[in-house]
Amino acid sequence: MILHEFLSFEFLRVVWWVLLGVLLIGFALTDGFDMGVGALLPFVGKTDVERRVVINTIGPVWEGNQVWFILGGGAIFAAWPPLYAVSFSGFYLAMFAVLAALILRPVGFKYRSKRDSQRWRNNWDWALFVGGAAPALLFGVAVGNVLLGVPFHLTEDLMPMYDGTFYGKFLGLLRPFAILSGVVSLSMLLMHGAAWLTLKTEGMVQIRARNIGTVAGIVAAATYALAGVWLAFGVDGFAMVGEVVTDGPSNPLYNEVSRGGSWLAAYGERPWIAIAPLMGFAGIAMAVRGLREGHEVSTLLWSKLAITGIIASVGLTMFPFVLPSTVDPTSSLSVWDATSSHLTLFVMLVAAVIFMPLIMLYTAWVYKVLWGKVTEEEVTGSSDSVY
């Protein structure tokens, strides 16, 4: 018997759904504070030296944090081909905007200190702000659109067809609920960035970060709660109809899907998933408390818990759907019918089991080496500081 047959197709599908969530959460936990710090840069740093301190808190680690983003994209491409095809065809203008914003970050890091002109540096500081704030907002908008459903359908030969207009591929994504989701994401990552700055800086930069992070945390809690109420009463959910085949062919047209009711019906069917939003609210509350009381390590850990809970609540609420269709609900992509083959998922799992622990160990080692605060004296007096 071939080894991969010991692990059922159904089991591997769920495993890769979980792993995709882990990769997305890992990206938000690591590169999330990079984006938050970038968005906070013009507001927590009032002088050139203060802004250099802020930049040097993330300068040595942001590239390593991008690994989670690359792994997430690779996992979608290899494990969820229909999801990759539909999302990249329907969201490509929005994704281009995210990519353009992300490109500003390394360019800003490298070019900001090339000239002594204050105007030159201020312009690059605002570029770094865009490079942090825009992706944080747009990633949330994308999640909101996934919950609302996307206008696509699959042809008989499973070719994805996006039914929105050219301009609708960007402007059509800016629906009220999606914008609210973007605000949740942005405020959440601003809080996370503030928690990171509280840990890595001191003096006025730290004080400003705490003040802004406290407000951001309150906004995150309020908008997250509002999004939950809106999701319960103002957004139609999706549900599988009839007998669901969990180990059948990877054909989204194989299972019948209906639209209607509430996404939050999932909490009646699986009450244990309520742990996710509770983690989100508890994490925000404790992070805000930590920011106000001046705690450092624990504040960052609570912020991480909040992000984990908020992102997990989306996936657990939608399960088993990963991308529902508003045009043809039967074309909706789910865990049970939008994956690669049984063998492909197994081979990928073996690679993940080998390499993900190595990545996590290396990342932990890097953060251990770079542990400690970034001070103004270090930034102005050390040749190792290039930002």
Read off the pLDDT of residues 191-248 as tens digits, 9 standing for 90 and up. Answer: 999 999 999 999 999 999 999 999 999 999 999 999 999 999 989 999 998 888 888 8
- Supply the pLDDT for residue 168: 60
Please give the pLDDT value at position 194: 97
**Mean pLDDT of the 294-321 span:** 96
CB 342 within 8 A of CB 247: no
Segments making up each domain of the chain, as ranges = 3-381
Average pLDDT over residues 146-155: 89
The tokens for 72 are 């997430």
Count CB atoms within 10 A of the CB of residue 47: 11
Residues composing the chain: 387
pLDDT number for residue 384: 53
| Average pLDDT rounded to a whole number, residues 358-367 | 88
**Mean pLDDT, the chain, as a whole number?**
90
- pTM value surpassing 0.85: yes
CA distance 276 to 204: 35
- Pair 15, 349: CB distance under 8 Å: yes
Q: How far apart are CA 150 and CA 187, in angstroms?
A: 25
Could you tell me which residue, 55 or 248, shows the higher pLDDT? 55
Q: Report pLDDT for 196.
A: 96
Q: In whole angstroms, what is the distance from residue 175 CA to residue 173 CA?
A: 6
| pLDDT of res. 303 | 97
**Dist. CA 378–CA 336, nearest whole Å:** 53
pLDDT at 141 over 90: yes
Is it the case that residue 378 has pLDDT exceeding 70?
yes
- Per-residue pLDDT tens over the stretch 73-92: 888 989 999 888 888 877 88
Supply the pLDDT for residue 123. Answer: 93
The answer to whether residues 173 and 146 touch, using CB atoms and an 8 Å cutoff, is no
Share of the chain above pLDDT 90, in %: 61
Q: Write the CA distances from 113 to 64, 106, 238, 379, integer angstroms.
A: 22, 12, 51, 12
